Amino acid sequence: MAAETCGVGAVRAQSAHFDAPLRLRCGATLPGFDLVYETYGTLNAARSNAILVCHALSGSHHVAGHYADDPANVGWWDNIVGRGRPLDTDRFFVVGVNNPGGCHGSTGPREINPATGRHWGADFPVVTVEDWVQAQARLADHLGIGQWAVVLGGSLGGMQALQWAIDLPERVRHSLVIAAAPRLTAENIAFDDVARQAILTDPDFHGGHFYEHGVRPVRGLRLARMLGHITYLSDDQMAEKFGRRLRNGSFGYGYEVEFEVESYLRYQGDKFAGFFDANTYLLMTKALDYFDPALASGGDLAAALRKAQAKFLVVSFSTDWRFSPARSREIVDALVHNGQDVAYARIESSHGHDSFLMRDAHYHAVMSAYLGNVTT
Amino acid sequence: MAAETCGVGAVRAQSAHFDAPLRLRCGATLPGFDLVYETYGTLNAARSNAILVCHALSGSHHVAGHYADDPANVGWWDNIVGRGRPLDTDRFFVVGVNNPGGCHGSTGPREINPATGRHWGADFPVVTVEDWVQAQARLADHLGIGQWAVVLGGSLGGMQALQWAIDLPERVRHSLVIAAAPRLTAENIAFDDVARQAILTDPDFHGGHFYEHGVRPVRGLRLARMLGHITYLSDDQMAEKFGRRLRNGSFGYGYEVEFEVESYLRYQGDKFAGFFDANTYLLMTKALDYFDPALASGGDLAAALRKAQAKFLVVSFSTDWRFSPARSREIVDALVHNGQDVAYARIESSHGHDSFLMRDAHYHAVMSAYLGNVTT
């Protein structure tokens, strides 16, 4: 390994309120809203060293570090942020933000709707990746950041990085699109719909207003997460990690946990269902399904990307079957077709879609090399 | 196409009762049990032309033809059985049987347990592929069939064909193992467990004794089937069949059906949940998970297969990702290693795992060619 690196240590979340209403793609308007965010490193005098990290389905503003009063609560992408790490806080000012519709403090279904005095719940409007870019732009204004050096993210986060380059081209110098796709396939949507149906048909969902009933649709949320985890891992990795190993060494001929993989999935499902908001889960999967920047160009992704001014790094992972390397190549091919500036790395990794969150020497070396050449 | 073929027409189900208890792998004993079955064609004088068709997860004894009083109820593999079809009823006597634990009339959770006078429900013991082979052997005895010319099946049915050749080697001349695998992977088990958890956590499941409550766990069963369908189809086929097509032409920004693929899955889920038994679904998935004929040989499949006397045809489909061609090759490789008689066909098909049920010219030509050489 290279020289020792250092994480960002104790951090704290901040909040910003935005008075101006946000007109959403769905036709609804979000009145004044709050965004919770964190920052790591220092904004330079030229305000030219800012990086926006966009979160995926279950992520949040808490990208790196830990909280002084909750040291076990480490950010979801801690391994990539800090001194000597790819998102080097000696050089960059890194911003993480929880998107509207989320459940980590930004305005979303779990928060109180000022118009009704009760939880937004199912009344929270459907939000899209485009909406998030607009909301994040408000935060950039608030922080005095006219142009991001870099916008990046993995999975649904990578889609936001792509949308930024299209919607606000003059405000992004580099767009890093990791483990993403330019649109979901029918199979992707199918998995999302099964997860949504699990939540929507849970008797404790109460049409999205479960907060008032003192219950949470934990059964549906648990199933959604179990299913999600299958698509995040690779077949090979599951074979290696669990294989057909039995919890107790022999068949139990019943429905308790038998195979180790069952134990893992149920544990992940239970953990997630214990804290995540069911309405947020629905919203996040809808944002995934709707994402399709080429739609307005009749499906022509190259045409959609033509107005982007950013330079691109596209990264995919060999065993990612949720958004396979072929899907990343669609983005690369469109950019190449346009003669735009794009680098592409396909990383060999056994960790499937989750690879983008892992500390892998080759992956991080690619990220460090690219980001090392980003001028600030 | 070749000459015209002809289906078997109107058929009727028969039933056989077996008095002798069946000792199961799980340690429990099934007292006298019933098997529902159908036959097509005529058993020859030498009783040497019998073919056993084993069903998969949701199949039944109703393999081919229709019922005089229910003409729309066509057997699940009708396209392969009849005059001039691969399972040629001019030559063969074809038998379909519903396995114990099923929900189509054979002794199973939906039937009444004579010991208690109420539905078996969750009291029905866990059954395995080995148990089914033993039960099917009883039916063979009943029909006076000492040796099957052919035992065949797709998916879980193929596993039974394989187990027959191992457990009762002198009673099978040809084993046709289609779209199967010698054991499930961790990923396969993971999908099964999510489906099971959907059923087990449905409040209407009532610990498997929902019959007495006048309800059925339709929510869980529906989710299980939706999920199953994703694994039965191929990504390519879903892209071709549904793509991102919208039911109403534009985004609805809500949770009603929007994408055509959602419509398809929910329809399939609803239809299945309307008739299938939830306990049977659990039992079938457990039989899949437990299937591992090499386990007793320390994982050495070749050793497990060595005592088989049958000739084998192994068939896989290019886009099947539930049991991919590589999984079929594991069986072929073990047989080749042993110097056993095996033919292998990998069929190009866009229909994923479901390909084994489809009428595909190449696939059916392979089946016809192989079965045409089976002496009777």
Tokens representing residue A326 in the block: 């072929």
Per the listing, tokens 């989710």 go with B223
Indicate which residue of A78, A131, A192, A320 is catalytic.
A320
In chain A, residues with a C-beta closer than 8 Å to the C-beta of B235 are: 185-187
Per the listing, tokens 């916008």 go with A151
Is residue B180 scored above 50 in pLDDT?
Answer: yes
- Closest-CA distance of chain B to residue A368, Å: 33
pLDDT band, residue A4 (cuts 50/70/90): confident
3-state secondary structure of A363: helix
Instruction: Please indicate whether residue A353 is annotated as part of the active site.
Output: yes
* Cβ-nearest to A126 among B242, B253, B262: B253
Q: Test A289 with B239 for CB contact under 8 angstroms.
A: no
Single-letter amino acid, residue A328: S
- Tell me the C-alpha distance between B71 and A210, whole Å: 46
Per the listing, tokens 């308790």 go with A256
Give the CA-trace dihedral at A83, A89, A92, A93, to 10 degrees. Answer: 170
Is residue B100 scored above 50 in pLDDT?
Answer: yes
Q: State pLDDT tens for residues B128-145.
A: 999 999 999 999 999 999
Instruction: Please indicate whether residue B155 is annotated as part of the active site.
Output: yes
Single-letter amino acid, residue B304: A
Mean confidence (pLDDT) of chain B: 97
- Tell me the C-alpha distance between A356 and A234, whole Å: 13
Is residue B2 scored above 60 in pLDDT?
Answer: no
What pLDDT shows up at residue A3? Answer: 59
Calculate mean pLDDT across residues B209-235: 97
> What is the DSSP track for A208-236?
GTGGGGT---HHHHHHHHHHHHHHHS-HH
Sign (positive or negative) of CA dihedral B327, B328, B329, B334: positive
Q: For residue A210, which of A261, A282, A311 has the smallest C-alpha distance?
A: A282
Write the burial class of residue A310 (CB in 10 Å: 0-12 exposed, 13-18 middle, 19+ buried). buried
Mean confidence (pLDDT) of chain A: 97
- Closest-CA distance of chain A to residue B225, Å: 10
Better pLDDT: A187 or A1 = A187
Q: For residue A242, which of A265, A275, A217 has the smallest C-alpha distance?
A: A265
Q: Using only the alpha carbons of chain B, give its radius of gyration.
A: 20
- Tell me the C-alpha distance between B165 and B159, whole Å: 10
* Cβ-nearest to A262 among B189, B244, B290: B189
Q: Test B238 with A190 for CB contact under 8 angstroms.
A: yes
Q: Measure CA A218 to chain center.
A: 22
pLDDT band, residue B3 (cuts 50/70/90): low
Question: Nearest 5°: CA angle at B86, between B81 and B92?
Answer: 70
3-state secondary structure of A204: helix
Q: State pLDDT tens for residues A14-37.
A: 999 999 999 999 999 999 999 999
Q: Test A193 with B227 for CB contact under 8 angstroms.
A: no
Q: State pLDDT tens for residues A191-250.
A: 999 999 999 999 999 999 999 999 999 999 999 999 999 999 999 999 999 999 999 999
Q: Where are the beta strands (DSSP E) in B58-136?
A: 66-67, 81-82, 87-88, 93-97
- Tell me the C-alpha distance between A32 and A38, whole Å: 20
Best residue in A223, A285, A320 for a mutation probing chain B (most B CBs within 10 Å): A223
Q: State pLDDT tens for residues A64-76.
A: 999 999 999 999 9
Neighbours of B131 (CB within 10 A): 23
- Tell me the C-alpha distance between A44 and A56, whole Å: 27
In chain A, residues with a C-beta closer than 8 Å to the C-beta of B255 are: 196, 200, 282, 286
pLDDT band, residue B66 (cuts 50/70/90): very high
- Closest-CA distance of chain B to residue A203, Å: 8
In chain A, residues with a C-beta closer than 8 Å to the C-beta of B193 are: 226, 259, 261-262, 265-266
- Tell me the C-alpha distance between A223 and A221, whole Å: 5
pLDDT band, residue B328 (cuts 50/70/90): very high
Is residue B281 scored above 90 in pLDDT?
Answer: yes
Strands A10-11 and A14-18, by their bridges, are unpaired
A291 CB contacts (<8 Å, ≥6 apart)? A128, A129, A156, A159, A163, A183, A184
Residue of B nearest to A226 (CA): B194
Residue of B nearest to A282 (CA): B255
- Closest-CA distance of chain A to residue B201, Å: 7
User: With pLDDT > 70 as the criterion, what percentage of chain B qualifies?
Assistant: 99
Residue pair B176/B161 in contact (Cβ under 8 Å)? The answer is yes
In chain B, residues with a C-beta closer than 8 Å to the C-beta of A191 are: 230
What pLDDT shows up at residue A1? Answer: 44
Calculate mean pLDDT across residues B16-42: 97
Residue of B nearest to A124 (CA): B254
Q: Test A25 with B253 for CB contact under 8 angstroms.
A: yes
pLDDT band, residue A358 (cuts 50/70/90): very high
Q: Where are the beta strands (DSSP E) in A26-184?
A: 29-30, 33-40, 50-54, 66-67, 93-97, 148-154, 172-178
- Closest-CA distance of chain B to residue A283, Å: 9
Tokens representing residue B252 in the block: 């609805």
Q: Test B230 with A203 for CB contact under 8 angstroms.
A: no
Tokens representing residue A90 in the block: 């000696």
- Tell me the C-alpha distance between A134 and A279, whole Å: 21
Q: Test A244 with B189 for CB contact under 8 angstroms.
A: yes
In chain A, residues with a C-beta closer than 8 Å to the C-beta of B194 are: 223, 226-227, 230, 265
> What is the DSSP track for A293-360?
TTGGGTT-HHHHHTT--SEEEEEEETT-SSS-HHHHHHHHHHHHHTT--EEEEEE--SSGGGGGGS--
Per the listing, tokens 């490789």 go with B333
Distances (CA, A) of B314 to B50, B54, B373: 19, 15, 15
Give the H/E segment covering residue A167.
Answer: helix A156-167
Residue pair A80/A367 in contact (Cβ under 8 Å)? The answer is yes
Best residue in A196, A251, A272, A281 for a mutation probing chain B (most B CBs within 10 Å): A251
In chain A, residues with a C-beta closer than 8 Å to the C-beta of B286 are: 253, 255
Calculate mean pLDDT across residues B64-73: 97
In chain A, residues with a C-beta closer than 8 Å to the C-beta of B227 are: 194, 227
What pLDDT shows up at residue A314? Answer: 98
What pLDDT shows up at residue B5? Answer: 85
Q: To the nearest 5 percent, what fractions of chain A are helix, strand and coil?
A: 40, 20, 45
What pLDDT shows up at residue B1? Answer: 43
Task: List A67's β-bridge partners, or say none.
Answer: A11, A70
Instruction: Please indicate whether residue B353 is annotated as part of the active site.
Output: yes
Q: State pLDDT tens for residues B10-20.
A: 999 999 999 99
3-state secondary structure of B17: strand
Q: For residue A152, which of A127, A124, A172, A128 has the smallest C-alpha distance?
A: A172
Write the burial class of residue A4 (CB in 10 Å: 0-12 exposed, 13-18 middle, 19+ buried). exposed
Length of chain A: 376
- Closest-CA distance of chain B to residue A185, Å: 6
- The dihedrals phi and psi of A139, each to the nearest 5 degrees, come to -65, -40
Is residue B259 scored above 50 in pLDDT?
Answer: yes
3-state secondary structure of A114: coil
- Tell me the C-alpha distance between B56 and A339, whole Å: 52
User: With pLDDT > 90 as the criterion, what percentage of chain A qualifies?
Assistant: 98
Indicate which residue of B88, B320, B354, B360 is catalytic.
B320
Helices (H), chain B: 129-143, 156-167, 186-200, 218-232, 235-241, 260-273, 278-290, 301-305, 325-337, 361-372
- Tell me the C-alpha distance between A278 and A16, whole Å: 24
DSSP state, B85?
S
Q: Test B243 with A186 for CB contact under 8 angstroms.
A: yes
* Cβ-nearest to B251 among A258, A265, A290: A290
Strands A311-317 and A342-347, by their bridges, are parallel
Single-letter amino acid, residue B263: S
Best residue in A194, A256, A289 for a mutation probing chain B (most B CBs within 10 Å): A194
Q: Test A193 with B262 for CB contact under 8 angstroms.
A: yes
A103 CB contacts (<8 Å, ≥6 apart)? A109, A110, A276, A277, A279, A280
Q: Test A223 with B222 for CB contact under 8 angstroms.
A: no
Residue of B nearest to A27 (CA): B253
Residue pair A213/B158 in contact (Cβ under 8 Å)? The answer is no
